Amino acid sequence: MKHLIPFYQARLPIEIKDYRNGSYELEQLQHLIQGVAARFKNELIKKGLDYDVFHNHFEKGTTSKQPRILYQISNRTSLDSDRIKYATLTGFAEGASALKWLIHNFPNDVLWNGQREMFKPIDTIEKEAPLVEGGNVYREYAVYEWLALSGNKGNKDMSNYEKYKSALDMGERQELLQSILIANLKNLFERWGINTEERPSCYITEITKVTHDEVKYKQRDWYSFNLTFACNWLLPDGIGIGNGIALGFGKIRLLETSVVATEPRYERMQRIAQLPK
């Protein structure tokens, strides 16, 4: 089955200078956007747009929902560290139309880091992003800074963390991460209101980086993974999975020359990183 998901993206003239603290700067940008959206709340509602997409909770209560607006860093996935990294706003589903309207009606300049800054986007992209379920064709994707495991006691993900650490071989770790990856994908689209008929088939092909001591999100320590995986779903480029996706974690990119004609086997995985002791 094929789904078309509304997509709108605006690259802003806000340079993220400190890559390691990029998520902090994105959080500041999120607060800025939310503040401006609050000023236009009545206008957004009159236009039939969903004001709540600018907040990751329901207006009446504190139940979390899957973010429709993502605050990301352009070129964050590039191996070229010299490339300028700008803040990027991406809206999916209901978030696309609401974000587009807000950007078009945004003040000409805003207060950013103590200075008045121009806020006109460098460029924008508007399209319908395809999500195609099932099939025998596998494509390869990269996911960056995926917050898949937390070692904090009492955290609901603690059991997966303990399973990962106690795994006897690489195959067990691979299968555990694959099951979390598939669950994250299903959860994302279900919370977007997209009824998927099939379960995606995913195989991790390589883990290039595990970070265990630098990532904090919602006052918890997280193990983040950079990895590549093959999937028999065509996924919208730029979506996020896992925890912290509103602030750029877990961003997925479709790799060039990524089509794998047949189902990939475990032997395709070149290398899998281990968690530090």
Name the DSSP class of 257.
E
Distance from C-alpha of 198 to C-alpha of 115, rounded to nearest angstrom? 50
Q: Mean pLDDT in the chain?
A: 80
Q: Look at residue 262 in the predicted model and tell me its pLDDT.
A: 60
Contact 194, 5 (CB under 8 A): yes
Q: Look at residue 156 in the predicted model and tell me its pLDDT.
A: 56
Give the rounded percent of residues in the chain with a pLDDT score beyond 70: 78
Domains of the chain (ranges; CATH) run 2-130 (3.30.70), 133-268 (3.30.70)
Distance from C-alpha of 241 to C-alpha of 143, rounded to nearest angstrom? 8
Distance from C-alpha of 22 to C-alpha of 85, rounded to nearest angstrom? 10
pTM check: above 0.85: no
How would you classify the pairing of strands 109-112 and 123-132? unpaired
- Intervals of the chain under pLDDT 50: 19, 58-63, 77-82, 266, 268-277
